[in-house]
Amino acid sequence: MGYIEYSIRTIMDLNFRQNIVRNIKLQSFLVLSVVLFLIKIFFVLPDTFTFKFISELVVILAVISLNFYLLDLMTDKSPNAISLVINIGILDAVIFFLMNFSSSLVNLLLGSSADSSNFLYRLISFIYSYLIIISISFIFLSFRELYFLKRGKRVTTYFNTMTAFFVLFLLSTVLNDFKSLSYIKDTFYVISILLIAINSAKISWIAFLSKRDKIKTLLLSVVIEILFVADLIGSSGTNFHSRIFINFSPALNEFLQLLMIYGIIYFGVLFFTTLFHIPTAEAFDRKQKEVSSLQYFSKLITQVLDFNDLTTTITEISLSASGANSAWIITEGEKEFDTIAIKNIGFVDAKTLTEYILEKIKDVKIKSTSIFNLKDFEKKENIAEKFSSVSITPLKSHNYLRGFLVTAKKEGLGYDEEDIRAIDTFCDYASVSIENSRLLEESIEKERLEKELDLARQIQRKIIPAKNPESKRLDISSIFIPAFEVGGDYYDFFEISESKMAFVIADVSGKGISAAFIMAEIKGIFESLSKTIESPKEILIKANQILKGILDNKNFVSAAYGLFDFTKKTLMLARAGHCPILLLRNNEYVDIRPSGLGLGLDYGNRFRETLEEVTMDLHENDTFVLYTDGVSEAKNAEMEDFGERHFRKILLNNANKESSEISNSVIKEISLFSRNNQQYDDITLVILKWKKENKIDGEKEWQNSTPRLKTTVK
């Protein structure tokens, strides 16, 4: 922050100092102007060399301070060659007007009293002289701007040397009364004209103009040349201008004539230079369009653009870059090539030419622009426009072909090496832009899918129980870890009454969003059936019938449904193709495997006949473990399964702990086992631990290690 504040303060100080210097220049000019006003209007100085020298020195200093001030103002703006030329022409016309029409205006105002003894005459003469001074100052500075315009290096030596000799020439004019010293002024005059000729020969900016601007410059140079000649003649005669301006300052009149010579030489050179550049103007305009196209596309690369808008822009700009008459893009569709972004040609004609081009290149791998002559094109007469040749350029990104850019030229035109290089370069930029557009569409699609997945996650969070039910008889824990953003595993608990609670666990075949939506359907089915039916077997039969209209041939659901009766201390259980329910009792485990097909595998009598329901008595610390195959089939880096054996060993080692501690131990071991491999299936683990209410119930523990099950097949 300190550095930023320092930088801002430095810039403000610099601007402040620049404003002070500029104000000093303006104040100097104003002070010198006031001194001149007093001398020229109110005082008549003696006709001696000393007073003449002082008067001329004040005039020269006033002009120099004015030029320094105007130079600051002009430096703040970006110069434009045509504008500078027009400004010189306007100011030259102002001088021409003043020279030729001011005498009539003065005579009209003053009549016979138009002589130097009249105050109003002296005031008008002063104003006239200052208008000339301001005009020639602007003209001189405009010549300076034109000299430095479009130069590779800002070479100041020649122009500053010429300016120095201009000043010396002005100062030497005070020696006009000494004929023996006239050679000094003549020497400075000749050297100044030589330097004018040298500097006028160094016109760099004309090459950067368009053909239209060059023609405009050619016409302007003729008009301005004539004005400079007329003003030179007018400043050399014995007219009203000479009487006023020579009397005001002989030195400035000499400078005015020198500046007119500068204009005659400069615009004479400009005329012939422009004339010689016109034949090559079209080539320069074309290169300028190519550069502009590439600059435009360099901006497009970083912009967000619709693919259709982008391809339209590509064909439009390709016309400028290649000098072609028509353009379109060929892209690979699902069944055939598509012709899109057609510019300056009918769709049918573009389609016909596309078929011809694709036939030509079907056995050729095009790496850069290829040109095809249409002399042998059989269907040429069927096309509305008479094209002589077409170019085709691949649009590639990361060595993958995205399509082709086709341009066509009418008869009498052809493609040269410059055209081909321009098209190749242009298509490199266009390919990058198309790739960016494609990546943008993929990003938008990805964002849309992520929003849908986020919605699916929110739905699934509402489907899976937010917390486990609280029960005096059961210690419950549950864990659900989807393999992807959403999963197809499902479990739930249903409070049937104060003395009964049901549970379900299910696994939908498949993964991702489709499995998650089936899971949502299953939740609604089991939640509805649990309110009207208590028998697990009947619930699974009804669920299978309902799923007939939901599941397709590729999907099925494995499930296990159970009902705890707290009063009878029993558990009724049915299983439809799901993993076995593990019972941990007396430090041993028992697989509870009632028979049954998965939901959706059969909708006839076979499902009902094979489905088995078991009823079993409950004892203290009986622990029921329900899980999906994502637990036992978790894989490590060597693609080995976590396995049933490893899983059951962990369960037995932690059987005496609370249900949450058991589930946490299992998940920890699975995580360590598969830490170097990605999870590919949903993991669901539900543990239900039966608790006795009092010690009397605890004295009725079974003596056998294997539990006795009362099995009822309905």
DSSP 143-188: HHHHHHTT-SS---HHHHHHHHHHHHHHHHGGGGG-GGGHHHHHHH
Indicate the pLDDT class of residue 102, thresholds 50, 70 and 90.
Answer: confident
What is the average pLDDT across 440-465? 76
Helices then strands (H, E): number in the chain? 21, 16
What is the average pLDDT across 128-138? 87
Q: At the topology level of CATH, where does 464-695 sit?
A: Phosphatase 2c; domain 1 (3.60.40)
For residue 188, give Cα distances in angstroms to 168, 173, 200, 603: 7, 10, 18, 117
From CA 550, how far away is CA 465, in angstroms rounded? Answer: 23
Per residue in 249-280, pLDDT tens? 888 888 888 999 999 999 999 999 888 877 76
Does 165 have pLDDT greater than 70? yes
From CA 370, how far away is CA 391, in angstroms rounded? Answer: 6
What are the extents of the domains in the chain?
Answer: 1-76, 78-300, 304-442, 464-695
Number of other CB atoms surrounding residue 479 within 10 Å: 17
In this structure, what token pair is assigned to residue 211?
């053909």
Indicate the pLDDT class of residue 565, thresholds 50, 70 and 90.
Answer: very high
Q: Which residue reads 């054996």 in tokens?
A: 645
Query: Which of helix, strand or coil describes residue 37?
Result: helix
pLDDT in the model for residue 711: 39
pLDDT in the model for residue 488: 75
In this structure, what token pair is assigned to residue 130?
């200052």
Over pLDDT 90: what percentage of the chain? 22
99-113, 345-359, 452-466: range with highest mean pLDDT: 345-359
Per residue in 492-551, pLDDT tens? 999 998 899 999 999 888 766 777 778 888 888 999 999 899 999 999 999 999 988 888
In this structure, what token pair is assigned to residue 459?
């739905």
Does 323 have pLDDT greater than 60? yes
Does 713 have pLDDT greater than 60? no
Contact 66, 134 (CB under 8 A): yes
pLDDT in the model for residue 1: 45
pLDDT in the model for residue 645: 87
For residue 402, give Cα distances in angstroms to 379, 391, 393, 553, 697: 28, 17, 11, 39, 77
pLDDT in the model for residue 201: 86
Contact 487, 517 (CB under 8 A): no
Q: What angle do CA 238, 242, 243 make, to 5 degrees?
A: 95
pLDDT in the model for residue 640: 86
Does 24 have pLDDT greater than 90? no
In this structure, what token pair is assigned to residue 337?
């090539």
Does 15 have pLDDT greater than 80? no
From CA 452, how far away is CA 446, in angstroms rounded? Answer: 10
Number of Cα atoms under 13 Å in the Cβ half of residue 503:
23
Does 653 have pLDDT greater than 80? yes
Verdict on whether the full-model pTM lies above 0.85: no
Which class does domain 304-442 fall in?
A: alpha beta
Strands 400-410 and 387-397: antiparallel
In this structure, what token pair is assigned to residue 336?
């055939």
Indicate the pLDDT class of residue 237, thresholds 50, 70 and 90.
Answer: low
- Residue 361 or 294, more confident: 361
Does 460 have pLDDT greater than 80? no
What is the average pLDDT across 136-145? 89
From CA 670, how far away is CA 676, in angstroms rounded? Answer: 11
Number of other CB atoms surrounding residue 613 within 10 Å: 23
Does 636 have pLDDT greater than 80? yes
pLDDT in the model for residue 626: 94
Q: Which residues pair with 327 in a beta bridge?
A: 343, 407
Over pLDDT 70: what percentage of the chain? 83
pLDDT in the model for residue 284: 60
Indicate the pLDDT class of residue 304, thresholds 50, 70 and 90.
Answer: very low
pLDDT in the model for residue 90: 92
Give the residue among 363, 438, 428 at the shortest CA–CA distance from 396.
428
pLDDT in the model for residue 49: 63
pLDDT in the model for residue 706: 42
